[in-house]
Amino acid sequence: MHAFVQAAVRRVQDAAEWFDVSGFQSSAAVAWTDDDPQLDTRFTVAFRVCGRLPLSCTVIYDAGDIEFPPDILVLGPAGFAPRLADIKPLVEWQPSNDRNLLDALTHIRRLYIDSQRLLISTCGFERISFEAGCLSHFEDLEMLLENDTNDVTCYFYIPFKHNAFAQKRAILSLTMLVDVESGNVSSVSRELLVPPKSQESVIQLPSYPLEGLVVDYVAQVIAFLDRTTELRISARTARKQLIESLAAEFQPILVEYDDVDYRFISLYAMISSEIEGKSRPEIHGAAVINITLPKTFPDSAPTVTLISPLFFRSEDSHIPVSKEWRIPYNRLMTVVDIVDFFRSEMQAQVVQFHSSLGR
């Protein structure tokens, strides 16, 4: 890639949510057969709208005057022909500003989305035209219409912010299939696109009634997320109370615990007794006790695993012997009940586990 355009192109590549850059080549007539990437000043940009690539353009920098604004040849559906003279970043091109290209392409993308919204509102299918009007107040709304012989497909990308994602933007993606002959909606698929590194990475959305309005379904999803967030906060509080209580009760044998999500605590118990005349105590039992809480605790039971610090699965294995300890848990048990249970039963379980190894 030509050194002058590298920074500008990199900004477009970084906006991968909106653009896909490919097909680098030279725009200099004398270099059509030259494979030197340093001469590349021509490339293709595809525009992402509603997760699809319905539009693309060819960007051509003048190899003879690289600081001159590039030609942008839009390759899209019939009826979409933006006036490049109206695109301010091209008209007011500043060679030193490496955002110019990104700003110009973003402007073209917005013009295309606006043209799609107009197309949908006047497409002749009353249902989706009405849906589009009801959603017009959503900022950065994206809509896309694709025609087929028997069906029309309408895509909706509806962005919103919610506490479930720390007020970062999520997108409700809906794909609505409309029968051309009847004008009725035949199917609706849905997906929630969550921000990166969200705690709620996979969310099972409520079902979508074919006769329901999109705007009502958006409200339903937000209410569903409200309930999910409340349950998650409540569950974390319950986990925190139990883990911290176990850590305080078993402080002398505490190995580690999760103080962020409160999902895990590890203890090390050794049961022994002094024998007269011997320098070493007799070991009756030893185990690492790992207690794991599911995200749905207290509705779901903790998982407890006993791990031997002395014995492995076989002579050739480096994996310690382990056993699940199934505790008699029920939803009505309090934190005090659970701590009392471990206090009263742990020693016997460790001794029994150690004895069962028979080594």
Instruction: From first to last of the 359 residues of the chain, give the pLDDT tens digit.
Output: 778 789 999 999 999 999 999 998 876 654 444 555 567 889 999 999 999 999 999 999 987 888 899 999 998 777 788 887 888 888 889 888 999 999 999 999 999 999 999 989 888 888 889 998 999 889 899 999 998 777 889 999 999 888 777 777 889 999 999 888 888 889 999 999 988 766 665 678 899 988 899 999 999 999 998 888 888 889 999 999 999 999 999 999 999 999 999 999 999 988 876 556 566 666 678 899 999 999 889 999 999 999 988 878 777 778 888 999 999 999 889 999 999 999 999 999 999 988 887 65
Angle 147-152-158 (CA atoms, 0-180°, nearest 5)? 105
The Cα–Cα gap between 152 and 172 comes to 20
Contacts of 314 (CB under 8 A, 6+ apart): none
Angle between helices 214-249 and 126-134 in degrees, nearest 10: 50
User: For the purposes of burial, counting CB atoms within 10 Å of the CB of 331, is it exposed (0-12), middle (13-18) or buried (19 or more)?
Assistant: exposed
Region for residue 167 given its phi and psi (left: phi exceeds 0; alpha: psi -120 to 50; beta: otherwise): left
pLDDT value at position 155? 95
The tokens for 135 are: 């959603």
Q: What distances in angstroms separate CA 349 from CA 288, 307, 324, one per listed residue? A: 12, 12, 11
Strand partners, 40: 26
pLDDT value at position 31? 47
Contact 163, 170 (CB under 8 A): no
Q: What is the pTM of this model?
A: 0.71
pLDDT value at position 180? 85
> How do strand 303-312 and strand 282-292 relate by DSSP bridges?
antiparallel
Contact 156, 116 (CB under 8 A): no
pLDDT value at position 149? 72
**Bond before 298 cis per omega within 30 degrees:** yes
User: For the purposes of burial, counting CB atoms within 10 Å of the CB of 298, is it exposed (0-12), middle (13-18) or buried (19 or more)?
Assistant: buried
The Cα–Cα gap between 89 and 71 comes to 12
